[in-house]
Amino acid sequence: MAAGVAVSPLARDSHDWALLLLLGGGGVLALGVGLAARWGAALAFGVGLLGAEQAVRLARGPAELDPWTPLYACAFLLVAELAWWSLEQRVPAWAEWGLALRRLVTVLLACAGGCVTAALIVIAAGLPIQGGFGLELAGVAAATAALAVVAGVARTHVR
């Protein structure tokens, strides 16, 4: 799945394909090393490189909005969640089917929330509003939704 996240920016016509390939490939490699060595710093670095790849593509790409950004956000969050989940200490409670299913549903709901939040941001960015209250309201709603998703994900990792 991480490879799919890494190559998705390359599917679009970009003049920075070499940089995107370097960032995406480095992210997948770091994730692989982190998973193989059970090393959290490598996982964080790999996720950071995948995020940097998308940021470069959005910053240096065409001026129009990318309607695929919400799907990328969902896949990116799912890759990060599953990678961290695989590094957690194996405890006997995870062998319990109901607990593992509850956690999986929580992760999938967090990813869906991230997708909805990204879609709200893309929609707000595409609104033909010249400023004022409407734009500020859309920004506050998107920021609130983003914080709710982050808080939900953080809550699952505190336990």
105-125 residue pLDDT tens: 999 999 999 899 889 888 877
Q: What pLDDT does 3 receive?
A: 77
Q: What pLDDT does 47 receive?
A: 92
Q: What pLDDT does 35 receive?
A: 92
pTM equals 0.72
Q: What pLDDT does 10 receive?
A: 66
User: Can you tell me the distance from the alpha carbon of 110 to that of 159, in angstroms, rounded to the nearest whole number?
Assistant: 16
Which of the four pLDDT bands, split at 50, 70 and 90, describes residue 129? Answer: low
Which of the four pLDDT bands, split at 50, 70 and 90, describes residue 34? Answer: very high
Q: Mean pLDDT, the chain, as a whole number?
A: 83
Which of the four pLDDT bands, split at 50, 70 and 90, describes residue 146? Answer: confident
Burial class (CB in 10 A: 0-12, 13-18, 19+), 22: middle
Coil, strand, or helix at residue 130? coil
Q: Which long-range contacts (CB under 8 A, 24 or more apart) does 115-121 make?
A: 115/70, 115/71, 115/73, 115/74, 116/70, 116/145, 117/73, 117/142, 117/145, 117/146, 117/148, 117/149, 118/69, 118/70, 118/72, 118/73, 118/74, 119/70, 120/145, 121/69, 121/146
pLDDT exceeds cutoff 90 at 132: no
Q: What pLDDT does 153 receive?
A: 75
Tell me how many domains the chain contains: 1
Q: What pLDDT does 136 receive?
A: 80
pLDDT exceeds cutoff 70 at 61: yes
The whole domain housing 88 covers 2-158
Look up residue 10 and give its DSSP letter.
Answer: G
Q: What pLDDT does 155 receive?
A: 72
